[in-house]
Structure 1
């Protein structure tokens, strides 16, 4: 029993559509390679899936650019010209925007004011005033932030200095108390030894007198 004829229409199921594309893509690539070998034909193939994935084939010993150049000469249609013209238009727009921005920047520093009327000059003045206010607000905000940071650092240094001074005073007191204790011990020992010596001496003198 032969295969039934498949109706050529879009496959609604995305999974089935992708599977069918993968299978038929392989078949088309195979046919393109067979044409190149069997018929000595120059074949170029470009395909994009619904996900944007590129599949391409070009006959050996040639390049895509050479192939398109040959197509352009044969068909007398320059496929690059529309793209080139579009690029030129985009470049002109960018140049116009750049020139306009440069002129606006120059006007903000007092240049190219001759062609401006009263309304345009007033608008420019308002823009400059508004910009000046924003810059001033940013400046004062930055000064305030730096001042607060400096205050915090000074406070931390003062606390460190107070702690170090307190620690220094405690060590001085401990050293003073220790030195007084040592001095008292030495004085007591010094006083005790001469007294015993003198007593012994007086004792011997008394014995000699007797």
Structure 2
């Protein structure tokens, strides 16, 4: 007695539905693999469950992108609208620009320049010289700012030294007056009141010529 015909409809039981999905998914992927090998066909299979899980298969000798491009060419149907097409072109353009920038960076480092023609070598030399000039200008700008700060600190040191000196003189005079009133007079020069603040100093001069 043969098997009864199975009615094709949604399986309500969640567990049974998941088991059936797993079995049939594996079966259809197996069939896709077999037709790829037996018939030398290009196959792309995408399965998405109702929970959003993705399962896919494509022939080992190709990719999903290649199959889609071939589908566009053969069927004349476009899966992407003009907006997506422009976005794809923009991504491709940015990728090429990024590759060119990496090549230029290697050239600036002195790498892969053996095959460059004379004109490109001259352009590379000019670019390097311009870069060196810009770096030196920036170094000088930073050095001048640093010197300006040093001069400002030196002025502040002198002002503070003067203030401390005045305070010291006043303390000595007040001490002498107290000693005279007590009947004892000591020469202020015999006292060791010294206020000394080490000067701020910076002895540095960038030698740009040594780098030539």
Pick the TM interval, shorter chain.
0.3 to 0.5
Larger Rg over CA atoms: 1
| TM-score, structure 1 normalization | 0.48
User: Higher helix share goes to which structure?
Assistant: 1
Larger relative contact order (Cα-Cα within 8 Å, sequence gap ≥ 6): 2
